[in-house]
A = this chain, B = another copy of it.
Amino acid sequence: MVFVTVAIDSAILAGNPLGDPARRRIGVYLPPGYEHGTQRYPVAYVLVGFNSRGTMLMNESPWDENIAQRMDRLIASGAVQPMILVMPDCLTRYGGSQYINSSAIGHYEDHLLQELVPLIDNSYRTIAQRDYRAVVGKSSGGYGAVMLAMRQPQVFGLAASHSGDLYFELCYKPAFIACVRELQRRDGDLAGFLRDIHMIRPRDAASHTLLNTIAMASCYSPNPASPHGFDLPFDLHTGEIIDAVWQRWLQWDPVHLVGQHAEALQSLKLLFIDAGRRDEFNLQFGARIFCEKLKQHGIAHVHEEFDDGHLNIPYRYDVSLQRISEAMGRL
C-alpha cells in the first residue's frame, strides 16, 4: 500500500472570503503494484462529510480500517480492481463547502474540476476518462458526489452517495428553530459566534447545529451584500421561514434538480444511493424521495438501505467501491 499526501496551491481558493488556506493537502492512495509498474488505473474521488478533510480518512480507529487498509483488503480479495483513490480537502472555517461554488465561502467545485482533477491526471497514471473516474462520498460528501454527477457528467461517469444530504425539508429545516433558540441564548450575537467559532466551549449539540446551519446558508444562500456574506432562511426573532431565502436553498436540493439534469444522470455508468434506516438526519427519506424522482425520469440507479444510523458507517465504502469497480468493468 502506498498513501501519499500531495500539496496543491490553489489559485481558485486563494483569497477566499473565510480566509481558509489556499494550500491544501490531498490524500492519494495508490494500489499495490503501482510503484513498479506502468499500468494506468481508474480513479475514485472520495468526498468526506461535514467538519472533515480528505486525509482524515487515514485516521486510526480502534476497530475499523482506514481507507487505505480497506482498499488493500478489497483489492487483495478481488472484490475491487486496483484503483487510485483521491481525497480532496474542501474543509472551510464553517465546517464545509458542500463541494460547490459560493461567494460566501469560495469556489470549491471549480477547484475540484479545474485544479485537482487535472493535477491528479498529470501526476499519476490515471485513465483520464469519465468512464473510469468515479466520485463517492458520505453525508455532505454524498451530496457532493450527487451534485458533481449531475453538473459535471463529462468529468465523472460514476457516482455513489452514502447517506447524502437530500431533501432539505427534512435534513436541514427541522434544525432551524433550534438555531433560533441557540442564537437567542447567545443574546442574538451571531457576529460573536462567527468570530469565535472554533473557540466555543462546550461544543455541544446546539452549537454544532447552529454551525452546520450557518455553513449551509453560506453554501446555498450566499449574499455579498449581507453583513456576514450570507442570508439565513429564518427570522432570528420569530423563527418564521423567510421564503425567498428558502427557495434559494431549494435550488440546490438534488431532489428538485433531477429533471433539469436528467440527461446527465442517464449517462452515468453507476448511480448508487444508500442511507441507514435509522439515520438521525432523516436521510433515508431523502434517499427514497430522490430515487422516486430518478424512477420518474427513467434513470437507472441502485438504492440500498442498511440497518444503522448516520455515524460510524465507513464499512459502507466496501459496497460502493465494489459497485464502482464492477460498473467500470475489469480492465
Query: Chain A interface: which size bin?
Result: 35 or more
Docked CA distance A55–B62 (Å): 10
Given A170-B177, A238-B292, A289-B238, the answer on whether A203 and B312 have CB atoms closer than 8 Å is yes
- Write out the residue numbers on chain B whose beta carbons fall within 8 Å of the beta carbon of A288: 237-239
* Interface pair B282/A239, CB less than 8 Å apart: yes
- Write out the residue numbers on chain B whose beta carbons fall within 8 Å of the beta carbon of A60: 53, 55-56, 58-59
Binary flags per residue of A288-331, CB closer than 8 Å to B gives 1, else 0? 11001000000000000011110010000000000000000000
- Write out the residue numbers on chain B whose beta carbons fall within 8 Å of the beta carbon of A307: 201-202
* Interface pair A241/B169, CB less than 8 Å apart: yes
Docked CA distance A241–B174 (Å): 13
Number of copies: 4
- Minimum CB–CB distance from A129 to chain B (whole Å) comes to 32
Interface residues of A in 51-105 (CB under 8 A from B): 51-53, 55-56, 58-63, 91, 95
Docked CA distance A288–B288 (Å): 35
Binary flags per residue of A273-289, CB closer than 8 Å to B gives 1, else 0? 00010100010010011
* Interface pair B240/A289, CB less than 8 Å apart: yes
* Interchain residue pairs with CB less than 8 A apart (23): A51-B62, A51-B63, A55-B60, A56-B59, A56-B60, A59-B59, A59-B60, A62-B91, A62-B95, A63-B198, A167-B240, A169-B241, A170-B239, A180-B285, A201-B308, A202-B307, A202-B308, A204-B309, A237-B288, A238-B285, A238-B292, A240-B285, A240-B292
- Give the 3 A-B residue pairs with the shortest CB-CB distance, closest first: A239-B285, A238-B288, A59-B59
